[in-house]
Amino acid sequence: MESPDFSIHKNGRQRKLVGASLSSVNTRDMENEETSASEPDLQDDMESLIREAGSEDRRHKGRLGIRGELGNVLLLLCLYVLQGIPLGLAGSIPLILQSKSVSYKDQAFFSFVFWPFSLKLLWAPMVDALYFSRFGRRKSWLVPTQYLLGLFMLYLSVTVNSLLQSEEGPNVLTLTAVFFMLAFLAATQDIAVDGWALTMLSRENVGYASTCNSVGQTAGYFLGNVLFLALESADFCNKYLRMEPKETGIITLSDFLFFWGMVFLVSTTLVAIFKRENQQGKGKRRVQEETQGVMETYKLLFSIIKMPTVFTFCALLLTAKVGFSAADAVTGLKLVEAGVPKEQMALLAVPMVPLQILLPVVISKYTAGPRPLDIFYKAFPFRLLIGLGYALLVWWTPSVKQEGGFPVYYYAIVLLSYALHQVALYSMYVACMAFHAKVSDPLIGGTYMTLLNTVTNLGGNWPSTVALWLVDPLTSKECQGAAGQSCGSSEEAGLCVKEGGVCVTTMDGYYVESVVCVVIGLAWWIWLGKKMKRLQEQSPSAWRCRVNQ
């Protein structure tokens, strides 16, 4: 899923409508799909059927819902919450860096942290096919990755202060490397948990896996981002949580990392020891997993991409969000630069949660027909206009700032802008997901959908990175108060200050980007948007993979 707001990077957090395991079928389609089973699994099924046939009460009890599997549901929920924690923390770092006045090139470099969830298709087949059968197909990857996540967090708890507060400024290179590994491990854990969810729950309850995914990741991201930024802020804690003001927040980033590092280590140990992956059905028919080799999966992906319609669609997905990149990637950082507290930026996400829940439900009524991309096409120009509105908001912000902060009406306007952005964003997102579901070959639905979703996410990540990278080169500054000095680079700016001058921005690259992006977006909408709409007119056979014909 693309980044749904301008205040927090959420590219890392992907709400999947399908399972991420490439050789596993879609969670929602699993109830209607036959899968192959090994001989021991067939024997387990036979024993389960015999037990069910022998007891009417037992059969009735097996249909009562999730009560008999509440432990498995809670475990899945816990695993998804843990997955959201490092993603939330990664999303908070750009705001912290911005408050320390790092360059936008550094922000662009750090944005690579959000790429692993868009690239996990590259190693998902290996996670799905290589494992130790005695330990468990999913635990073979889940346990090591979560241990590594915990160890990386403990390492960061000791070093993060020095990385953020060194004399030369934040060590962005090391921060990026460590948080990239956190995101990579979280994406790998996501592949394993998605696959395990399909077999951990019984056939009649497997649909709850997507609920655990959505609720758990959202809760984890909230804890790692919004809650952390609020409790780490001295101003927020002094204003709302303390009787006597102090210079620091209730918690520090180091404390937060240490706590969750220990939680990862302890919870992973408990799962490794007490949770058996391959259990008997206990009176319920278990969903069997499809097994596919690594090379077969890669060949299947290649055969899908080679199809003309899919190749064209992927190319359009990779370029569709260029017009929104400045608004989505840079606006929130510019507001922090203008003085808006980073914890307030994070808290703006809270009132949007009900809207984010309701919007897909409402929009899906209009995308359920044969032409879901019509909604995508109609929402496109409105989202571009909202991007220009964001630029006006950033320009207006310094003039509204008061001695005690910003007035309530300012935050109300920001919240309204954010809400309008959500409507346009979710209209495009839901329409795109509906089209993915419509064209995906049902024989390989899991792999097909994962490919299209991965391309969609990547199409949002790379323009954001480029947009951040170009802010500084497009910004013009001049040295005032020191003759003969300039501010073209950090070294020149330093010389300007030494000579008693000050660097003044004459043209902010963000505004240049905002206009250029809207122009590019309009051109895409006029010429390529119509081509994307015409893909809906292709016959179903044009989307069928030749491997299955």
| Same-domain pairing of 306 and 236 | no
pLDDT recorded at residue 54: 44
Cα separation, 438 vs 434, whole angstroms:
6
Cα separation, 452 vs 435, whole angstroms:
10
Decide: 284 and 202 in contact? Cβ < 8 Å. yes
| Same-domain pairing of 196 and 310 | no
Q: Is residue 34 part of a domain?
A: no
Domain boundary among 275, 310, 343: 275
pLDDT recorded at residue 350: 87
Give pTM, 2 decimals: 0.83
**Nearest by Cα to 205 from 66, 339, 376:** 66
Question: Is the Cα dihedral 183, 189, 192, 195 positive or negative?
Answer: negative
pLDDT greater than 50 at residue 16: no
Domain boundary among 218, 248, 275: 275
| Same-domain pairing of 318 and 409 | yes
Across 215-229, 372-386, 399-413, the highest mean pLDDT is recorded for 372-386
pLDDT greater than 80 at residue 20: no
pLDDT band at 546 (very low <50, low <70, confident <90, very high): low
pLDDT recorded at residue 308: 93
For 253-288, write each residue's pLDDT tens digit.
Answer: 999 999 999 999 999 999 999 998 765 444 445 445
pLDDT recorded at residue 280: 46
Q: Is residue 527 part of a domain?
A: yes
| Same-domain pairing of 459 and 516 | yes
pLDDT greater than 70 at residue 58: no
The 10 Å CB-count burial string (b at 16+, else e) for 74-112 is ebbbbbbbbbbbbbbbbbbbbbbbbeeebbbbbbbbbbb
- The first and second tokens of residue 213, run together, are 């995914």
For 163-221, write each residue's pLDDT tens digit.
Answer: 998 878 899 999 999 999 999 999 999 999 988 887 888 877 777 887 888 888 889 99
Kindly state the percentage of the chain with pLDDT values over 70: 84
The 10 Å CB-count burial string (b at 16+, else e) for 153-182 is bbebbebbeebbeeeeebbbeebbebbbbb
Domain boundary among 218, 245, 275: 275
| Same-domain pairing of 313 and 214 | no
SS3 state of residue 503:
strand
Alpha-carbon Rg for the chain in angstroms = 25
The 10 Å CB-count burial string (b at 16+, else e) for 366-384 is bbeeebbbebbbebbbebb
pLDDT recorded at residue 480: 85
Please state the rounded mean pLDDT for residues 222-239. 91
Average predicted confidence (pLDDT) for the chain: 84
pLDDT recorded at residue 505: 86
For 32-49, write each residue's pLDDT tens digit.
Answer: 333 333 444 444 554 454
Q: Is residue 46 part of a domain?
A: no
Count up the domains in the chain and report the number: 2
pLDDT band at 89 (very low <50, low <70, confident <90, very high): very high
pLDDT greater than 70 at residue 316: yes
- At residue 502, φ and ψ (nearest 5 deg) are -145, 140
CATH number of the domain bearing residue 350: 1.20.1250
| Same-domain pairing of 100 and 240 | yes
Q: How many CA atoms lie within 13 A of 314 on its CB side?
A: 20
pLDDT greater than 70 at residue 529: yes
Q: Is residue 469 part of a domain?
A: yes
| Same-domain pairing of 543 and 480 | yes
| Same-domain pairing of 191 and 332 | no
What is each CA distance from 55 to 66, 283, 339, 422, in whole angstroms? 20, 10, 68, 51
What is the distance in angstroms between the CA of the first residue and the CA of the last residue of the chain? 31
Q: Is residue 55 part of a domain?
A: no
Cα separation, 546 vs 146, whole angstroms:
38
| Same-domain pairing of 360 and 482 | yes
pLDDT recorded at residue 503: 86
Decide: 154 and 257 in contact? Cβ < 8 Å. yes
Please state the rounded mean pLDDT for residues 359-368. 88
Q: Is residue 8 part of a domain?
A: no
Decide: 12 and 120 in contact? Cβ < 8 Å. no
Question: Is the Cα dihedral 163, 164, 166, 172 positive or negative?
Answer: positive
pLDDT greater than 90 at residue 107: yes
| Same-domain pairing of 233 and 355 | no
Cα separation, 436 vs 452, whole angstroms:
7
| Same-domain pairing of 257 and 298 | no
Q: Is residue 127 part of a domain?
A: yes
Q: Is residue 49 part of a domain?
A: no
Cα separation, 514 vs 73, whole angstroms:
44
pLDDT band at 290 (very low <50, low <70, confident <90, very high): low
pLDDT recorded at residue 168: 80
Decide: 532 and 432 in contact? Cβ < 8 Å. no
pLDDT band at 55 (very low <50, low <70, confident <90, very high): very low
Cα separation, 15 vs 215, whole angstroms:
10
Domain that holds residue 120: 69-275
- H or E element in which residue 311 lies: helix 308-319
286 beta partners: 202
- The first and second tokens of residue 530, run together, are 């119509």
pLDDT band at 478 (very low <50, low <70, confident <90, very high): confident
| Same-domain pairing of 363 and 239 | no
504 beta partners: 478
Cα separation, 515 vs 502, whole angstroms:
28
CATH number of the domain bearing residue 165: 1.20.1250.20
Measured from the Cβ of residue 232, the count of other Cβ atoms closer than 10 Å reads: 21
